Amino acid sequence: MRTKSICCIGAGYVGGPTMAMIAARCPDITVTVVDLNAERIAAWNSDRLPIYEPGLDEVVRSTRDRNLFFSTDVDEGIRRAGMIFVSVNTPTKTYGIGAGSAADLKNVELCARRIAAAAQEDKIVVEKSTLPVRTAESLKRVLHANASGRKFEILSNPEFLAEGTAVADLERPDRVLIGGETTASGARAVEQLVDIYARWVPRERILTTNVWSSELSKLVSNALLAQRISSVNALSALCEATGADVDEVAAAAGRDSRIGPKFLKASVGFGGSCFQKDILNLVYLCRHYDLDEVADYWEQVVEINAWQKQRFVRRMIRTMFDNIAGKRIAVLGFAFKKDTDDTRESAAIDVCSALIAEQAELAIYDPKVEPATILNELQRATGLERKDLEDRVHCEPGPYQATAAAHAVAVITEWDEFTALDFERIYRGMHEPAFAFDGRNVLPHAAMREIGFEVHAIGKPAPAERASDSSASRAVAVRDGREQLRAADALRQ
């Protein structure tokens, strides 16, 4: 049986783009995205979509009101669809058992109850949110407890798109993963979902597994990706101490085909709604099964990330004569990565909060993040009254306004436009010494030093060490020479 109508509960960064792509590639399927948030639905139906994602406008424009619909009528959406995707947010729990590490499944359970209450026939329910292993089991229990004769098949179909490249990732995914029950009806449900993706994804890229493998694979993929970044970030500190260049080290190591070049870019720290949450999920799961060593191992990936953000701030403070109180610092970028307006878990939040705690004055510019979002995030993180926060934090409309009269500029997000700014102009507007702290290693360091900036970058030798490069290498040569003499002496004896 072919699916004719799909409903997706949750019109966010995952649900919106994924459903738009399904609608684009399957014109015979009616796709309805529903959400409790009326403002968000209105934005999906307007010319200004609620999320910024390159290429998404075109996909939505070509499908909306043809076979893609956005609505707040959750029950009607459920009733009309044969297949329902659950794509609601599942943040880390902030209360009760598992606070700080387990996923908050409140929204998922609400969806399950709503589906059970509204459905009039059998349904396939697809979990699309990132969820801890065995959530499908809980979904199934809630649905079946309220089934009254109807049958619900549960599938796991984790999302692997990355924000900023969502459209390309959805168009040409490395793989699509579908987990289902190993029963005849489970296999039929899996086939129905495979049939949808197979319209544009080569069949060999569509992997089918049991439900738990599928759920766990999502956590593992994100944990392994985040681990690479924490590994290279940990080594960036060693590079700064020794005079090695982390970009050169990562490029050399990444040339080994077993390691590969991607996801080895040292940074001020990873962010986003997935990495930290999924690792904490994994840690919670390991502790649940008394695997404390495994839990500790993965927890370290998150700890190094937190340390990297603090290390960046400490370096700024130390460099600026251990005093940033009252100094204006231009913060370039607030999103957790370029090409998105998403700020969830962005390194900018921790960096800015720490700078505010030191009583710095911040001038923040991000090409896509709304000032209200920046202020809300910082208010949540610092606990300051809005007025006190606004005394310290100014959201500026452009990079030149942000850097005017600043003592330092700090790059937190690697937006392309930051690499090609008029640095002469910025330098003229700043106090001297004009410090630049590059949290993404995207600025033209040599050219900026020529202009007069004192540039500090992640995993790169500090300016003082650079100046004494020749004396440092002389010292190493002398030490090596002494060791060689000692070795020769030992041989002679």
Q: Any idea which residues carry the catalytic annotation?
A: 274
Interface with ligand ADP: number of residues (CB under 6 A) = 20
Does residue 35 belong to the site contacting ligand ADP (CB under 6 A)? yes
Does residue 222 belong to the site contacting ligand UDX (CB under 6 A)? yes
Q: Are 266 and 250 in contact (CB under 8 A)?
A: yes
Does residue 384 belong to the site contacting ligand UDX (CB under 6 A)? no
Q: Around Cβ 360, how many Cβ atoms within 10 Å?
A: 25
Smallest distance, Å, CB 81 to ligand UDX?
24
Alpha carbon 2 to its chain's center: 35
Does residue 272 belong to the site contacting ligand ADP (CB under 6 A)? no
From residue 432, give the alpha-carbon distance in Å to each of 329, 429, 468, 484.
13, 10, 22, 46
Helix (H) or strand (E) holding 386: helix 386-392
Q: Which of 86, 274, 360, 408 binds ligand UDX (CB under 6 A)?
A: 274
Q: Which of 110, 118, 381, 451 binds ligand ADP (CB under 6 A)?
A: 110
Smallest distance, Å, CB 173 to ligand UDX?
10
Residues numbered 385-414 forming contacts with ligand ADP, rule: CB under 6 A: none
The partner residues of 457 in beta bridges, in order of sequence, read 438
Q: Which stretch binds ligand ADP (CB under 6 A): 35-43, 62-70, 146-154, 385-393?
A: 35-43
From residue 343, give the alpha-carbon distance in Å to each of 152, 229, 261, 266.
36, 19, 26, 19
Does residue 159 belong to the site contacting ligand UDX (CB under 6 A)? yes
Location of structure tokens 């390194």? 347
Query: Which phi and psi angles does 433 have, rounded to 5°?
Result: -65, 140
SS3 425: helix
Q: Which stretch binds ligand UDX (CB under 6 A): 20-28, 158-166, 179-187, 373-381?
A: 158-166
* CA nearest to 439, candidates 275, 343, 292, 308: 308
HSE toward the beta carbon, residue 125, CA cutoff 13 A: 33
Smallest distance, Å, CB 13 to ligand UDX?
8
Annotate each residue in 43-82 with x if it binds ligand UDX (CB under 6 A) or - if it does not, as one string: ----------------------------------------
- Sign of the alpha-carbon dihedral angle for 18, 156, 191, 72: negative
Does residue 341 belong to the site contacting ligand ADP (CB under 6 A)? no
Q: Which of 225, 253, 294, 381 binds ligand UDX (CB under 6 A)?
A: 225
Location of structure tokens 């307007």? 46
Q: Compare residues 192 and 305 and give the one whose CB is closer to ligand UDX.
A: 305
From residue 151, give the alpha-carbon distance in Å to each of 119, 120, 138, 398, 480.
10, 10, 15, 55, 75
Q: Compare residues 163 and 215 and give the one whose CB is closer to ligand UDX.
A: 163
In the complex, residue closest to ligand ADP by CB: 12
Does residue 381 belong to the site contacting ligand UDX (CB under 6 A)? no
Smallest distance, Å, CB 386 to ligand ADP?
23
Q: Which of 273, 308, 343, 353 binds ligand ADP (CB under 6 A)?
A: 273
Q: Which of 3, 6, 7, 10 binds ligand ADP (CB under 6 A)?
A: 10
Location of structure tokens 């459905």? 119
Residues numbered 115-144 forming contacts with ligand ADP, rule: CB under 6 A: 129
Does residue 9 belong to the site contacting ligand ADP (CB under 6 A)? yes
CB burial readout 191-212, b (16+ within 10 A) else e = ebbbebbeeebeeeebebbebe
How far, in Å, CA of 381 to CA of 491, rounded? Answer: 62
Q: Which of 197, 312, 336, 415 binds ligand UDX (CB under 6 A)?
A: 336
Q: What is the DSSP string of 482-493?
A: HHHHHHHHHHH-
Q: Which of 3, 6, 8, 15 binds ligand ADP (CB under 6 A)?
A: 15
Question: Dmax over Cα atoms in the chain, in whole Å?
Answer: 92
In the complex, residue closest to ligand UDX by CB: 272
Footprint on this chain of ligand ADP (rule: CB under 6 A): 9-15, 35-37, 40, 74, 87-89, 107, 110-111, 129, 273
Footprint on this chain of ligand UDX (rule: CB under 6 A): 159-163, 222, 225, 229, 263-265, 267, 270-272, 274-275, 336-337
